[in-house]
Structure 1
Amino acid sequence: MTPPPIDLTPLRKALDALDGALHYWHAEPDDSGRKPHLRAGVIQSFEFSYELAVRLLRRVLMERAIAAPLVADLSFNDLLRAAADAGLIADPLTWRRWRDWRNRTRHGYDETQAESIANVAQTFAGDARDLLNRLADAIGDGDHPTANPT
């Protein structure tokens, strides 16, 4: 039985939501009472987008592999090396850093930590859009997002 086709729409929507959250957060005055809530939205969008990106990366690699079960069992670092070898990511170290930032969101954090996580989300969004474009190329997805819409 063949697996269903890979649908990149959830990642596109997640990245659009991240871009929107970043836009509203940056547009809000610093002294606004809404600013921390908007920052929380940025962090949540970052978490969700990261998780989807890694899941889709593994899935594309599995479908392209001769031995899909081996790809399914790869460690995170081996997954990143395989993704770089396949041309799906430019730099495994960058994606290790994104994982570290994602892990920081799982623990209690103070205002400084929350601000740092939200600030790196902008750079992550660019790397995730690059991954999305590469995944779209790899699976022959015609709805190819070439640029950040905002």
Structure 2
Amino acid sequence: MSPSTPSIDLTPLSKAIDALAGALHYWHIEPDDSPRKPHLRAGVIQSFEFTYELSVRLLRRVLMERAASAPAIADLSFNDLLRTAADAALLSEPLGWRRWRDLRNRTSHSYDETQAQEIALAATAFLEDARTLLQRLRSA
């Protein structure tokens, strides 16, 4: 990033991560037999979706800002984006981000109890990856 290039505002991602952490906290502390539990899980899933989408979008923007050819980054496939991000030391586990993409895609196509539970449980691990990404994007 050159000194004349404006930096990307990462505040929305930070807030999304905080919202996901809060949703996970309340979902985890709610008793399993509570009628609120499914609603809290839905909040976790929604926060996961939003945080994932914002993470990938900002990752691409930061890479575009750093690149000699921004259109080349804009046109990268998802897998190539992950490889490029790993090469730039922004991601340490690109395979994990493929899993997050798969889970994100499943939230928009099917909503049954088993999948909802799996996605909500996985959101805790995603949260750690999102926090790591935010830290690395701040250092970029």
TM-score range, shorter chain: over 0.9
Whether 2:42 is the aligned partner of 1:40: answer: yes
TM (normalized to structure 1)? 0.89
Instruction: State the aligned residue count.
Output: 137
The CA distance in 2 between the partners of 1:11 and 1:111, in whole Å, is 28
Distance in 2 between residues matched to 1:32 and 1:38, nearest whole Å: 10
Deviations 1:42-86 (A, max 9, x none): 000000000000000000000000001100000000000000000
Structure 2 match to 1:79: 81
Provide, for residues 70-129 of structure 1, a one-character-per-residue CA deviation record: whole Å limited to 9, x for no partner: 000000000000000000000211111110011110112211110110000000000000
Of all paired residues, the percent bearing the same amino acid is 74
Q: Which residue of 2 aligns with 1:89?
A: 91
1:122 to 121, 124, 127: 124
More helix by share: 2
Which whole-Å CA distance do the structure 2 matches of 1:35 and 1:135 have between them?
A: 34
Q: Which runs of 5+ in 2 are unaligned?
A: none
Is the counterpart of residue 58 in structure 1 residue 43 in structure 2?
Answer: no
After the TM superposition, list the runs of 4 or more consecutive aligned residues in structure 1 that deviate by more than 3 angstroms: none
Give the structure-2-normalised TM-score.
0.95
- Which consecutive unaligned segments of at least 5 residues does structure 1 have? 139-150
State the secondary structure of the residue aligned to 1:106: helix
For residues 124 and 18 of structure 1, the distance between their equivalents in structure 2, rounded to whole angstroms, comes to 10
Distance 2:55 2:99 in 1: 14
- Alpha-carbon RMSD: 1.0
Mapping of residues 91-106 of structure 1, within 5 Å = 91-106=93-108
Query: Could you tell me which residue of structure 1 aligns to residue 22 of structure 2?
Result: 20
